[in-house]
Structure 1
Amino acid sequence: MTDARSLLRPCLRPALLLLALFAVPAQAETYRIDVIVFVDLWAGGAEAGNPPATPSLRNAIDVDDAAALRAAGIELLPEDQSALNDAWQHLRYSKQFKPLMRLSWTQKDPPQERGPSVHVRIPKPGDETGAPIVDGSIALLLGRYLQIDADLQYVADGQAWPLAERRRMRRDETHHLDSARLGILTQVSKPGAAPDAAE
């Protein structure tokens, strides 16, 4: 008589393999975000500004708060490691655009909504009050698609120009978001990817 265990053994192997696969914990997805914030110097009369307002900074983490960034799975990278260094140099030599800040970080498991964002605050040069010319936040979101959610405000001469946009991102492509005066270049990649050339 055939041993029942020998008959069941071939059937059990695929089932056990599937169980083993599902038992493996999911790997954390880590992304790299590179951002340049810049201002358009030729857009003086393009669009009237609004009275300055306090930007919403809910869930925004200050770049100096290392513990909070670490808890959120965010690690800041040195400026000179920016994947957009070529674009930064082009903007520096441009007569129309003035680069204000480079910011790069890696982030584990970006949320779909209402997750941590990075507080972007650029003080006005020479202003002892510390009043910023740019204030707001930038967040990376991962739902069905990768998205950058920028909520920034540029202030000059007592007026403010917001840049509030959510943009679907293609990995390893440089995207340009802008408003009447303020703009950002941003790129999302996987850590270790080759730096992107300037567009």
Structure 2
Amino acid sequence: MYKPAFNSSGRLFAALALLVALAAPALAEDRYRAEVVVLERLADPIVKEQMADKAPEVKEGLKRLWVVDPSGTVRSDLDITSNLTLNTAASRLENSGKYRVLMKTGWIQQFPPDYDGKPLLIEVGELLEEAGHRAVEGTIEINRRRYLLVNVELNHWRNAADPGADGERDGSAPESASPDTGEGTESTESTESTENDGGDGTGADTRGVGTSPASSPGMKAASGKELVTWIREIRRMRSEEIHFLDSPTIGVLVYFRPLD
């Protein structure tokens, strides 16, 4: 009696196996190694921005990328690694005496097309006890359209009682040039085009320092802290290139490498 080589269940299993085999290369192409370094500029900048009354949006319930708790312990909700391509660039900047590395980390993640990421929490630097958090805090968010897009929103705070805490220093705004990392660091100048309504991600949107739509007069007295500067920038990422985003007092190195 003739028996078919595959019954209906066997044909279904074979079809599923073929789909998995065909999908595997596509999934591999969506895997990236992401790396982030946050730096503090050591030289006292000449800042004329009026930031003391700015109130950045408070985001809660986020996954932690790198949060230093009051005891100094690093907390992260990602499987992070310290074996970074950015280690060399970070060391060069520290050795220059102009920067201090506050955090450096990397992780592996899939970023498929049209990926909408969630903000990842960062909290590093000096502990501001009255404020209840570290001096540098905020988020980094990664999305993908035609390109990977990184949205950095970091705030740099200080105690309100510190010298010069009235937020008014004389002088002109400092230059915002990329540091010499020796690794082909991209310029911090923003492009004129922004991500279009269709989500193509064809450009970068640099929103600069001191342009928040929200403000809260009297916040300094209530919280015991004041805002020094911040970073508000969306940058289109080119794979295997180091990107530098900065403000007068803090900077961020970002690097992505696709994995085969």
Q: Normalising to structure 1: TM-score of the pair?
A: 0.69
Q: Where do residues 1-199 of structure 1 align in structure 2 (5 Å cutoff)?
A: 24-25=22-23, 27-28=26-27, 29-51=30-52, 53-57=55-59, 60-63=62-65, 64=75, 66=77, 75-79=78-82, 81-109=83-111, 112=114, 114-125=116-127, 127=129, 130-157=132-159, 158-191=226-259
* Change beyond 3 A, Cα 1:78–1:25: closer
CA distance in 2, matches of 1:60, 1:92: 30
> Is the CA contact 1:43–1:180 (under 8 Å) kept in the aligned structure 2?
no
> Is the CA contact 1:147–1:169 (under 8 Å) kept in the aligned structure 2?
yes
Structure 1: 4+ residue segments shifted above 4 A: 20-23, 125-130
**Deviation (angstroms), 1:129:** 6.6
CA distance in 1, matches of 2:247, 2:60: 22
CA distance in 1, matches of 2:58, 2:120: 12
Fraction of identical pairs, as percent: 26
Which structure has more strand as a fraction of its residues?
A: 1
1:125-178 Cα shifts (integer Å, max 9, x gaps): 585874211111112211011111111111124333110101011100001111
> Is the CA contact 1:123–1:131 (under 8 Å) kept in the aligned structure 2?
no
1:41-82 Cα shifts (integer Å, max 9, x gaps): 22522333513635443673114463xxxxxxxx43222x12
With 133-142 and 166-175 compared, the bigger mean Cα shift is at: 133-142
What root-mean-square deviation, in Å, do the aligned CA atoms of Structure 1 and Structure 2 show? Answer: 2.9
Which structure has more helix as a fraction of its residues?
A: 1
- In structure 1, what residue type is equivalent to 2:247? S
CA distance in 2, matches of 1:111, 1:43: 42
> Is the CA contact 2:150–2:235 (under 8 Å) kept in the aligned structure 1?
yes
> Is the CA contact 1:33–1:104 (under 8 Å) kept in the aligned structure 2?
yes
* Change beyond 3 A, Cα 1:37–1:191: same
- In structure 2, what residue type is equivalent to 1:78? T
**Partner of residue 185, structure 2:** none
Q: Secondary structure in 2 aligned to 1:163?
A: strand
User: What runs of 5+ residues in structure 1 fail to find an aligned partner?
Assistant: 1-19, 67-74, 193-199
